[in-house]
Amino acid sequence: MKKIMLVDDEMHVLRIMKLSLEKQGYDITTFNNGQVAFDALQQGWPDVLITDIQMPRMTGEELCKNIELKYPERSFLIIVLTSRTEIEHREWSAKINNLQFLEKPVSMRNLISKLADYFAQH
């Protein structure tokens, strides 16, 4: 079973994503800020990490940078949910490999098919 980590400070978002993705047969763990998610990576890596950007304690941007620093050999995909456009994050995201953006509002169908495509290749 593919493991997916969900990081968002919006409780409702976590709930509905978890519900939807579990239906697709993924193993879902949820975190409500970047810091707890980052800490959890020490226990093991997921196959995909989905994170919001604006969060307390550690933002999505910081989380990505920290992962890149600490785990340069990372193999999992990071999907960043953003209310801005991808272009606006280009500056910091350019240095991070294996990173995708998904603009809000997010369609769960889109996300599910994106994941399916990804897993079909990897």
Partner 1 sequence: MKLSNEKPGFIMILASLLVMAITVYVLFDNQHQNREKLAQEQGLGLARLMSSISWSQLSTGPGQMSLLELFRQGQSNPDFAYGVIVDVNAQVQSEVTARGIIVPVASLPAEPLSWLNQRIVEGLDGHSKFIESHAPLFQNGELRGFVRLGYIKPQLDFSYAQMPFIATLTLPIFLLTPLFYFFLRQEMKPLRKINESIDKLTKGQLAQSVELTPSSEMSQFMERFNQFIDFTQARMQQLNAEQSDLVTSGKLLSYKNSKVESILQTMPEAILVIDKAGVVSYANQKIHSLLGLDPVDVINKKPHEWCKTAEVINILSGSHNKGAAITISSAAISSDQSGQDKKLDVRTYPLFAPTDDSKLLGRLVVIRDITEQHFEQQRQGEFVAQIAHELKTPLNVLSMYSESLLDDELVSEKHRIEAANVIHDEVERLSSLIQNLLSITKYELGGLLIERQRVRILDFLQDVFDNLIKSDRVKGVRFEIDLPREMSALFIDKALMRIAINNLMTNAIKYNKPGGLVTLEARESEHYIDISVLDEGYGISQQDQQHIFDKFFRSEDNNIREQTGHGLGLSLTQQIVQLHQGELSVKSTLGTGSQFRIRLDKDKDSMAGN
Binding residues for partner 1 (CB under 8 A): 9-10, 12-13, 16-17, 19-20, 23, 32-33, 54-57, 81, 83-84, 88, 104-109
- Using alpha carbons, select from 114, 121, 120, 122 the residue that is nearest to residue 21: 114
Q: Which is nearer to partner 1, 96 or 106 (CB)?
A: 106
Using N-to-C axis directions, what is the helix angle for 11-23 and 108-121, rounded to 10°?
50
What residues are paired with 3 via a beta bridge? 27
Shortest approach of partner 1 to residue 115 CB, angstroms?
A: 15
H or E segment and range at residue 5: strand 3-7
Shortest approach of partner 1 to residue 2 CB, angstroms?
A: 19
Shortest approach of partner 1 to residue 9 CB, angstroms?
A: 7
